[in-house]
Amino acid sequence: MIIDVHAHLGRDYCFDFEQNEDDLLNAYDCYKIDRAIVQPNTPRPYLEDIKNAHDRIAAMCKKNAGRIFGMISANPHLKDDDYRCEVLRCKSMGFIGIKIHTLAHSVNPSGIDGMKVFEIAKELSLPVMIHTGNGIPFADPIAAYAAIKSYPEVLTVLSHTGGNMHQTQALLMAKEFENVFLEPSWMPSVCIASMINSIGSKKIMFGSDEIGNLKPALDTFAAVIKNDVDYENVMWKTASGVYGIK
């Protein structure tokens, strides 16, 4: 079993990047990915565009029920009522997590608008994924410290594990807080090995971020992880527990 917890669909207006449904499904068939959690690439910052991006993912989930799951990614700087209504709408469509993209959304995860994401995540029992790495100061894992400490009930995934610059901070967060997990997409093998040795495989989950990284990421984990228990934890069991994927 392999679960990819970090996939994107659609046109990204921040990074000038695009992936469509066929791109994802063909790659998952090729590399034998069993389940995936798909979030929007960054749409234009208008409520209608955000809704359309979520609707597209909902349609993909419906067509690939049990294999594709949705993650909410709405800009937290939307008006409070608009943000809340969109999260509730996505939850009603079966989405299983919320993303804070600290760089693309230009949001401090422990600021006022970042905290409202954690508040509604607590209310709806949804995990929060936070972009870390590129985009300091808000993408430094430490920027999420106050929010994570204030909401211990909210399971929080630090995507990219802080990148090469902030891996130490991500590891410190995962050690200090039981509700913090790491998704080390784009990290080199030596860093991934260090994470497993430091915090254990039950705190780490597999993600690709984009399909061009699928094979390198799969090869890296296969080379680094030395036993079946750790491999199963990283490739699906941790994600299954955090996101409730059977």
Q: How many domains does the chain have?
A: 1
Backbone φ and ψ of 6, nearest 5° = -140, 90
pLDDT in the model for residue 51:
98
Mean pLDDT of the chain: 97
Backbone φ and ψ of 131, nearest 5° = -70, 125
Q: How far apart, in Å, are the Cα atoms of 138 and each of 1, 43, 161, 162, 189? A: 34, 20, 14, 11, 25
pLDDT in the model for residue 202:
97
Which run of H or E residues covers position 170? helix 167-176
The Cβ-side half-sphere exposure at 45, using a 13 Å CA radius, reads: 11
Residue 118 in contact with residue 151, Cβ under 8 Å? yes
Q: Token pair of 74, please?
A: 């709405």
Residue 101 in contact with residue 13, Cβ under 8 Å? no
pLDDT in the model for residue 246:
84
Range of the domain at 144: 3-243
pLDDT in the model for residue 188:
92
For the segment 210-221, the average pLDDT, to the nearest whole number, is 95
- Per-residue pLDDT band at 228 (split at 50, 70, 90): very high
Backbone φ and ψ of 23, nearest 5° = -55, -50
pLDDT tens digits, 12-47: 999 999 999 999 999 999 999 999 999 999 999 999
pLDDT tens digits, 138-186: 999 999 999 999 999 999 999 999 998 899 999 999 999 999 999 999 9
Evaluate if pTM is beyond 0.85. Answer: yes
pLDDT in the model for residue 164:
86
Please report, for the domain that includes residue 74, its CATH number: 3.20.20.140
Task: Tell the residue number behind the tokens 């068939």, with chain if given.
Answer: 29
pLDDT tens digits, 70-105: 999 999 999 999 999 999 999 999 999 999 999 999
